[in-house]
C-alpha cells in the first residue's frame, strides 16, 4: 500500500469539475493510495460540484466503448476510495461510472459523518443526475447504492420522480432500519440534550480481514464519531419511508444473511411490500459491507447483477 496522501490538501485544492479539467497534484497520490487506477478506464475526472450547501467531491471514469452509466452511492462512514471493486466491475461491463463522496464523508465538505436531514441526500442525487445530463453520459443510467446509498435510492424511487433515463436500480444491503433500532432510538433521545456525538465503534462488517484492518487502522478518511444529528435525521426518515406509497418498479436487491448492521429481515419485508416482485440475491454468510466482501461472495452477486444488466 502506498504512503497516505494529504487529505486536507487534496480537499482544499480540488477544482470545479465542469469549469477546470486540471486535477491537483495530490490526485495521483490519492488514486494510488486507494488503487483507483483502472486499466479499463480511458479517461477519469476528479473535482467538485455544489449541492445542498456542500462541496461534493465527484469522480467519473470512462471505458473505451461505453454503453450505459452507473451512478454509484456509497454507504455510511464510507467514501469513493473504498469502492474500487465495484468501479472495476462496472468498467468491465462497459459502464461509465459517476460517483461522489456524500456530505461529511471522504473529500466532500460537511460535519464528519453527519447530515441535517435525509432530504439533503436527495439533493445530492439530483445534482449527480444533472451532472450526468451535462456530461451527456450514455443511457440508461443505472443506480447502485450500498447501505445508506441504497436508502437514498429507495427514497428516490418511492418519493421522487425518477427520470426517464433511469435503468435498473441496485440496492446492496440497503438501509431501512438498522439492527436493534429501538435501542439506538432510545439512546438518541437520552443523548440529544447532552452530546453532539459519541465515539464510533468499529465492527467486522466484512469477511475480508485486510479490508477491515485497512478501514480501522490505515484509512485517513474514516470518521471516528457517530453524530447524534445523523441518528436524528434517520429517526425522522424511517417512518416517512415506511409509510411511502408502493412503487411499480422492481429494484435488484442483494443482501447477506450474516449482516449485523441493518435489520435485514425487516428491511426485506418492507422492500418486498413497497416494490413489485423485486429480484433478491440472498448471500449465505454475506456480512454488511458487500462492496468489500470476500472475493467469492462478490463474484456470486456480481454474476447475479450482470445477468440482469445485460
Distance from first CA to last CA of the chain, Å, rounded?
34
Q: What fold is seen in the domain 7-309?
A: Rossmann fold (3.40.50)
Mean pLDDT of 29-45: 96
- 41-59 pLDDT, tens digit per residue, is 999 999 999 999 999 999 9
More confident residue, 266 or 2: 266
1 or 143: which leads in pLDDT: 143
Confidence of residue 190 (pLDDT cuts 50, 70, 90): low
What is the reported pLDDT for 199? 85
Which is more confidently placed, 30 or 3? 30
Full-model pTM? 0.95
- Predicted local distance difference test score (pLDDT) of residue 197: 81
SS3 per-residue string spanning the chain? CCCCCCHHHHHHHCCECCCCCCCCCHHHHHHHHHCCCCCCEEEEEEEEEEECCEEEEEEEEEECCCCEEEEEECCCCCCHHHCHHHHHHHHHCCEEEEEECCCCCCCCCCCCCCCCCCHHHHHHHHHHHHHHHHCCCCCCEEEEEECHHHHHHHHHHHHCCCCCCEEEEEEECCCCCECCHHHHHHHHHHHCCCCCEEECCCCCCCCCHHHHHHHHHHCCCCCCEEEHHHHHHHHHHHHHHHCCCCCCCCCEEEEECCCCCECHHHHHHHHHHHCCCCCEEEECCCCCCHHHCCHHHHHHHHHHHHHHHC
The DSSP bridge pattern shows strands 280-283 and 252-256 to be: parallel
Q: Residue 186 pLDDT more than 60?
A: no
Supply the mean pLDDT for the chain.
Answer: 94
Angstrom distance (rounded) from CA 296 to CA 247: 33
**Exposure b/e, 45-73, CB count within 10 A at least 16 = b:** bbbbbebbebbbbbbbbbbeebebbbbbb
pLDDT digits (tens, 9 = 90+) for 94-115: 999 999 999 999 999 999 999 9
pLDDT reading at 192 higher than 90: no
Amino acid at each position: 500500500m502506498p504512503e497516505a496522501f494529504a487529505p486536507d490538501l487534496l480537499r482544499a485544492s480540488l477544482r470545479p469539475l465542469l469549469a477546470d479539467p486540471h486535477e491537483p497534484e495530490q490526485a495521483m497520490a490519492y488514486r494510488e493510495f486507494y488503487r483507483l487506477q483502472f486499466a479499463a478506464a480511458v479517461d477519469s475526472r476528479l473535482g467538485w460540484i455544489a449541492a445542498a450547501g456542500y462541496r461534493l467531491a465527484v469522480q467519473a471514469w470512462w471505458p473505451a466503448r461505453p454503453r450505459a452509466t452507473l451512478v454509484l452511492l456509497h454507504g455510511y462512514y464510507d467514501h469513493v476510495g473504498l469502492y474500487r471493486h465495484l468501479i472495476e466491475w462496472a468498467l468491465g461491463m462497459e459502464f461509465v461510472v459517476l460517483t461522489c463522496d456524500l456530505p461529511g464523508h471522504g473529500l466532500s465538505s460537511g460535519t464528519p459523518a453527519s447530515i441535517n436531514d435525509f432530504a439533503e441526500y436527495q439533493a445530492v442525487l439530483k445534482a449527480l443526475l444533472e451532472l450526468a445530463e451535462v456530461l451527456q453520459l450514455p443511457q440508461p443510467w443505472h443506480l447502485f447504492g450500498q447501505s445508506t446509498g441504497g436508502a437514498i435510492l429507495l427514497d428516490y424511487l418511492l418519493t421522487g420522480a425518477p427520470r426517464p433515463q433511469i435503468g435498473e436500480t441496485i440496492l446492496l444491503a440497503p438501509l431501512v432500519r438498522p439492527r436493534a433500532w429501538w435501542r439506538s432510538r432510545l439512546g438518541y433521545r437520552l443523548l440529544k440534550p447532552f452530546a453532539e456525538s459519541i465515539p464510533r465503534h468499529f465492527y467486522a462488517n466484512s469477511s475480508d480481514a485486510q479490508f477491515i484492518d485497512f478501514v480501522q487502522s490505515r484509512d485517513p478518511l474514516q470518521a471516528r464519531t457517530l453524530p447524534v444529528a445523523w441518528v436524528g435525521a434517520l429517526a425522522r426518515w424511517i417512518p416517512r419511508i415506511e409509510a411511502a406509497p408502493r412503487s411499480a418498479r422492481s429494484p435488484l436487491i442483494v443482501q447477506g444473511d450474516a449482516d449485523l448492521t441493518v435489520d435485514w429481515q425487516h428491511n426485506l419485508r418492507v422492500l418486498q411490500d413497497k416494490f413489485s416482485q423485486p429480484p433478491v440475491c440472498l448471500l449465505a454468510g454475506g456480512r454488511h459491507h458487500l462492496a468489500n466482501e470476500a472475493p467469492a461472495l462478490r463474484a456470486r452477486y456480481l454474476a447475479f447483477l450482470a445477468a440482469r444488466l445485460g
